[in-house]
């Protein structure tokens, strides 16, 4: 398939082939290249559900003479083209037929190349239809032993078509229609039942057939409802093998048993699958949250995410007389996070130590009479050596307080320290050092921004969001301390506020826990935040008001984004740039 067709997701599967309009096109030209040659004849046939809708057949004045060898091949002479309309008069009709259709052609790159070039030359927009090449489809469907050649004439003879191709546009288009219908009859045996599966089959250009296991397990999708929700593949012993979500459970589950599903991991899972359970949800948000909970509870072996479900890392001060920063898996007071990997948390920790005079050593320093020997960092002026008693606890405390103020969004002093370092190094012509300082600042600013943003949401006692469902109704969610407490819908024509009040009344009670996220799973808070801040979601109720710290990372968000873009452009940034959950 050509690059004009968008990549399709599994949730877009299911456009029945009987509902698709195929516009079969054939062109005759003065030669073989759209860059140097011209169209002499256009044939187009539109079909849907096996029935012919419309046809277009016309000669075209190319504006140049037709070579003798082309006349011998097609029978089109210069005299025949003398009174033919120019391409500019024919092209609009062709484009009208293509809009809302799938462009079908035998050796499609040839025909689409000429049509695109004509649109460019005549300054007309190309409608960008999905493109289906019947030659590639034949190669994907027919074994080589059955039909060694996929030329149009060979296929027409093989299928016994009533129309014989003769290198005239409309005749060849009609023959291609017959070949297409015969090929579509074959793909049913491959489990291909929708347009998207058909395009995927041709894109791969190889005969991917459902395995025997897939064919035998197709009945597992029979009772799955066409509703949004979560699906669980279970083995014979009841073990949950795989968990997923979809806006249409039946369509998604059915896709596992078609030719479009070629992942070895999934096919291995289907060997063990004996049952599919479903949890119908109000909308996609509830399904996403339930999926996270089910993966964490069952750790299904075929979900990659189940290896470390819900794992997160934090940067937090230790509880001692001279606190230091450490990476921990359990959040506590003063912790910054969450981060999706230990490496990401360590990068933020290192950036913070560049901005704050906190000690880097890991020894435990007693509150009274410390007597360790100062390390090299003291000699370099990068540590005041509290371990040797050279810095009392009261002098060390301001650095700890500065960390707490940064995490809480009360003061962005450490970020300004790093920013001044970037400016100083740039002014001194030390551009590589300035770029490294810039990246450390961007890392720390992004971590503070992420932590403050999620913590602000988790700190809200109750919030109600409403998102348009695209059908005139509303998707509703009640959020309490970073957890989804209730979900529902107010369809078109139903007053939403009574539904909101009913959801609030019956919503789950959420008791806040410890840590910045009040005990809520980091991934759930992230999912909720994305839903609440995208897609036109409106806040119906919020107590207390949703607010982020004035001096948190949000004030540096735009700066950090520009810094990361600059890093990627110049190649200064490591590909292991930290990313949060």
Average pLDDT over residues 344-363: 90
The secondary structure of 119-149, three-state, reads HHHCCCCCCCCCEEEHHHHHHHHCCCCCCCC
Note whether 317 and 324 are within 8 A (CB). Answer: yes
Count CB neighbours of 356 within 10 A: 18
Domain with CATH 3.30.420.10 in the chain: 10-204
Q: What pLDDT was estimated at residue 303? A: 87
Average pLDDT over residues 162-182: 95
Q: What 8-state DSSP symbol labels residue 43?
A: E
Q: What is the overall mean pLDDT for the chain?
A: 86
Token look-up 């590589």 returns 432
Q: What 8-state DSSP symbol labels residue 543?
A: E
Three-state DSSP class for residue 167: coil
Q: What 8-state DSSP symbol labels residue 16?
A: B
Average pLDDT over residues 9-33: 78
Question: In residues, how long is the chain?
Answer: 581
Note whether 458 and 520 are within 8 A (CB). Answer: yes
Q: What pLDDT was estimated at residue 512? A: 92
Three-state DSSP class for residue 423: helix
Sign, Cα dihedral of 494, 500, 506, 508:
positive
Burial 145-156 (b: 16+ CB within 10 A, else e): eebeebebbebb
CA distance to 39, 41, 174, 374, per residue, from 111 (Å): 10, 12, 15, 78
Q: Which of 157, 154, 161, 105 is nearest to 129 (CA)?
A: 105
Q: Which of 488, 490, 482, 489 is nearest to 463 (CA)?
A: 482
Note whether 367 and 321 are within 8 A (CB). Answer: yes
User: What's the CATH superfamily of 212-307?
Assistant: GIY-YIG endonuclease (3.40.1440.10)
Given a cut of 80, whether residue 540 has pLDDT beyond it is: yes
What are the tens digits of pLDDT across the range 379-399?
A: 677 787 788 778 888 898 999
Q: What 8-state DSSP symbol labels residue 334?
A: T
Three-state DSSP class for residue 477: strand
Note whether 475 and 228 are within 8 A (CB). Answer: no
| Residue of higher predicted confidence among 278 and 426 | 278
First CA to last CA distance, the chain: 36
Q: What pLDDT was estimated at residue 317? A: 93
Q: What pLDDT was estimated at residue 202? A: 82
Note whether 128 and 3 are within 8 A (CB). Answer: no
Given a cut of 60, whether residue 121 has pLDDT beyond it is: yes
Residues with Cβ within 8 Å of 375's Cβ and at least 6 positions away in sequence, in order, are 361, 383, 385, 387
Residues with Cβ within 8 Å of 450's Cβ and at least 6 positions away in sequence, in order, are 338, 553, 580
How far is residue 156 CA from its own chain's centroid?
Answer: 41
The secondary structure of 305-362, three-state, reads HHHCCCCCEEEEECCCCCCCEEEECCCCCCCEEEECCHHHHHHHHHHHHHHCCCCCCC
Q: What pLDDT was estimated at residue 199? A: 86
Q: What 8-state DSSP symbol labels residue 67?
A: P
Average pLDDT over residues 302-311: 73
| Confidence bin at 224 (pLDDT 50/70/90) | very high
Token digits for 504? 């609030």
| Confidence bin at 207 (pLDDT 50/70/90) | very low
Note whether 414 and 402 are within 8 A (CB). Answer: yes
Which residues, listed in sequence order, are joined to residue 246 by a DSSP beta bridge? Answer: 229
Q: What 8-state DSSP symbol labels residue 573?
A: S
What are the tens digits of pLDDT across the range 468-508?
A: 998 899 999 999 999 999 999 999 999 999 999 999 999 99
Note whether 25 and 111 are within 8 A (CB). Answer: yes
Residues with Cβ within 8 Å of 186's Cβ and at least 6 positions away in sequence, in order, are 141, 142
Token look-up 């060849």 returns 172
**H/E segment holding residue 527:** helix 522-533
Count CB neighbours of 553 within 10 A: 26
How far is residue 474 CA from its own chain's centroid?
Answer: 24
Q: Which of 549, 545, 388 is nearest to 463 (CA)?
A: 545
Phi, psi for residue 444 in degrees, rounded to 5: -70, -45
Domain with CATH 3.40.1440.10 in the chain: 212-307
Sign, Cα dihedral of 424, 428, 432, 435:
positive
Q: Which fold is adopted by the domain 10-204?
A: Nucleotidyltransferase; domain 5 (3.30.420)
| Residue of higher predicted confidence among 158 and 265 | 158
Q: What pLDDT was estimated at residue 578? A: 34
Q: What pLDDT was estimated at residue 278? A: 96
How many CA atoms are closer than 13 Å to the CA of 197, on its beta-carbon side? 29
- CA 379 to CA 134: how far, in whole Å? 76
Q: Which of 190, 166, 186 is nearest to 176 (CA)?
A: 166
């Amino acid at each position: 398939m050509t690059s004009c067709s968008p990549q399709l997701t599994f949730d877009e599967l299911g456009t029945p082939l009987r509902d698709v309009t195929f516009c079969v096109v054939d062109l005759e030209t003065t030669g073989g290249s759209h860059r140097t040659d011209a169209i002499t004849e256009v044939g187009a046939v539109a079909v849907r559900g096996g029935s012919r809708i419309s046809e277009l057949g016309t000669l075209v004045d190319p504006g140049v003479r037709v070579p003798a060898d082309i006349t011998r091949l097609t029978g089109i002479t210069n005299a025949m083209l003398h009174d033919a309309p120019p391409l500019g008069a024919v092209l609009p009709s062709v484009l009208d037929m293509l809009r809302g259709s799938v462009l079908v052609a035998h050796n499609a790159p040839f025909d689409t190349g000429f049509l695109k070039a004509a649109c460019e030359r005549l300054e007309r927009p190309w409608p960008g239809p999905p493109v289906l090449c019947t030659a590639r489809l034949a190669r994907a469907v027919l074994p080589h032993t059955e039909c060694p050649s996929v030329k149009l004439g060979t296929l027409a003879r093989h299928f016994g078509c009533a129309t014989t191709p003769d290198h005239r546009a409309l005749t060849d288009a009609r023959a291609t229609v017959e070949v297409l219908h015969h090929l579509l009859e074959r793909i049913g045996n491959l489990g291909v039942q929708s347009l998207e599966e058909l395009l995927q089959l041709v894109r791969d250009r190889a005969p991917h057939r459902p395995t025997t296991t897939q064919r035998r397990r197709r009945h597992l999708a029979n009772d799955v409802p066409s509703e949004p929700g979560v699906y669980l593949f279970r083995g014979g012993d009841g073990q949950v093998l795989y968990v997923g979500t979809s806006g249409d459970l039946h369509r998604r589950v059915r896709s596992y048993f078609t030719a479009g599903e070629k992942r070895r991991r999934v096919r291995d899972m289907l060997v063990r699958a004996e049952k599919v359970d479903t949890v119908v949800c109000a909308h996609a948000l509830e399904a996403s949250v339930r999926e996270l909970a089910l993966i964490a509870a069952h750790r299904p072996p075929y979900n990659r995410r189940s290896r470390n479900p819900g794992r997160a890392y934090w940067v937090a001060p230790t509880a001692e007389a001279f606190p230091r920063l450490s990476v921990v898996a359990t959040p506590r007071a003063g912790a910054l996070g969450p981060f999706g990997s230990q490496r990401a948390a360590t990068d933020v920790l290192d950036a913070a130590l560049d901005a704050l005079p906190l000690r880097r050593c890991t020894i435990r320093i007693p509150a009274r009479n410390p007597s360790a020997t100062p390390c090299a960092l003291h000699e370099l002026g990068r540590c005041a050596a509290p371990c040797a008693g050279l810095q009392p606890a009261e002098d060390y405390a301001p650095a700890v307080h500065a960390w707490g103020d940064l995490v809480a969004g009360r003061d962005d002093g450490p970020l300004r320290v790093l920013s001044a370092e970037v400016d100083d190094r740039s002014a001194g012509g030390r551009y590589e050092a300035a770029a490294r300082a810039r990246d450390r600042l961007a890392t720390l600013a992004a971590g503070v921004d992420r932590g403050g943003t999620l913590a602000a949401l988790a700190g809200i006692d109750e919030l109600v969001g409403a998102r348009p469902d695209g059908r005139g109704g509303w998707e509703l969610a009640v959020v309490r301390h970073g957890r989804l407490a209730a979900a529902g819908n107010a369809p078109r024509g139903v007053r939403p506020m009574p539904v909101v009040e009913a959801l609030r009344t019956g919503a789950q009670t959420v008791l806040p826990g410890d840590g910045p996220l009040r005990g809520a799973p980091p991934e759930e808070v992230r999912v909720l935040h994305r839903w609440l801040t995208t897609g036109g979601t409106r806040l119906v109720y919020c107590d207390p008001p949703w607010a982020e710290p004035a001096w948190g990372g949000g004030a540096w968000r735009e700066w950090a984004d520009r810094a990361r873009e600059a890093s990627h452009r110049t190649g200064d940034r490591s590909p292991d740039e930290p990313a949060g959950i």
